[in-house]
Amino acid sequence: MMGCKCGTQVILCNLPVRFDTYKGCSHGCKYCFAQKKQNIAKIQKSETVEALRSFIEGKRGRETAWCDWNIPIHWGGMSDPFQPIEKNIRASYECLKLLAETKYPFVVSTKGKLVVDPEYLDLLAQCNCVVQVSMVCSKYDPLEPGTPPYEERLKIVRTLAGRVQRVIVRVQPYMPEVFKDVMANIPRLADAGVYGIVVEGMKFYKAKKGMVKIGGDHCYPLNVLRPHFEAIRAEAHRHGLKFYAGENRLRAMGDSMTCCGIDGLEGFKGNGYNLCMLMNGKNPEPTELMKQIGTGGCFQSLNQVAGINKKISKQSFYGLMQEELSNKTDYYRRMFGLDD
């Protein structure tokens, strides 16, 4: 049975456990990173409600063996759970019923208008959740042909606010060309009841003039992004919004190192033991379970080499995290912007 996954994000993210009800997406966003990994035009069901129930009940697979608490699930990392096909298949609706019943904490990411359909909204209001809506500005509308336009999403956000724990707006992926538009929209987001915004720069697969290569991506240099993030943060704070930096190189600029907006919420405990926290001087401590042999299965996705399964099975989550840091210190210093 497929279930909640935890792969390469485990070194970067405080909420690395992901769940997707679908493979593929009809939004057709021109910049989508998932297109690199699969043909997303073909939509099919992915993880099941039974697999979700299993995780909620404390059962762990190879990739999540390190986690022995109710870590919030990030739902919708690779495919929108509330895209149009959900109206017919209703896989996400079945999961929502379970999440409403169990009150298990989760963060869900969407651009779909189905999220405010009365039967879905009524369930979300019973859930222990943070809803993230991706929306940069109206200039992105042509880049997102299968989604509600920006102004409609603003209405969606207004409807959600007050019915769920928090609404977070994802200003992702951000391009400097829309700086003025983003700044102008901040007071409108505050008026709509948004709790905070998370900003992350666009990443390109092909080299572009003026970009810097970070890992496998071509990114805006920090001397371009940093002043924009500083100005957006100041404007967000001026209007009572929290600011989070989804950009790995600028994560410490945010109001929390957990950039999805769960800070301070009761029952929302992420995993602080990762390279982003370690390298930013946060001194996280591993749990006792993380030190046990056989808890590092999620590291297989970071090391696709022959014989890696056998090696990983003889090590702990803690040991593999330390080894990853030791073997690739310079690589991660660059990834987290520590040399800029």
User: How many helices (H) and strands (E) are present in the chain, helices listed first?
Assistant: 11, 12
pLDDT digits (tens, 9 = 90+) for 184-227: 999 999 999 999 999 999 998 889 999 999 988 999 999 999 99
What is the rounded average pLDDT for all residues in the chain?
92
**CB proximity list for 313: less than 8 A, separation 6 or greater:** 293, 294, 297
Q: Find the mean pLDDT for residues 152-164.
A: 97
| CA 176 – CA 163 distance, rounded (Å) | 33
Write down the domain spans for the chain: 8-264
**What's the pLDDT score for residue 301?**
86
Residue 26 pLDDT level (bands cut at 50, 70, 90): low
- Please report the pLDDT score of residue 40 as a whole number: 47
Average pLDDT over residues 227-248: 99
- 280: exposed, middle or buried (C-beta count within 10 Å: 0-12, 13-18, 19+)? middle
CA pair distance 3, 68, nearest whole angstrom: 16
Does 1 have pLDDT greater than 60? no
Nearest residue to 261 via CA among 74, 43, 49, 55: 74
195, amino acid identity: Y
Given this structure, which CATH class describes domain 8-264? alpha beta
Is residue 124 predicted with pLDDT exceeding 50?
yes
User: Using only C-alpha atoms, what is the Rg of the chain?
Assistant: 19
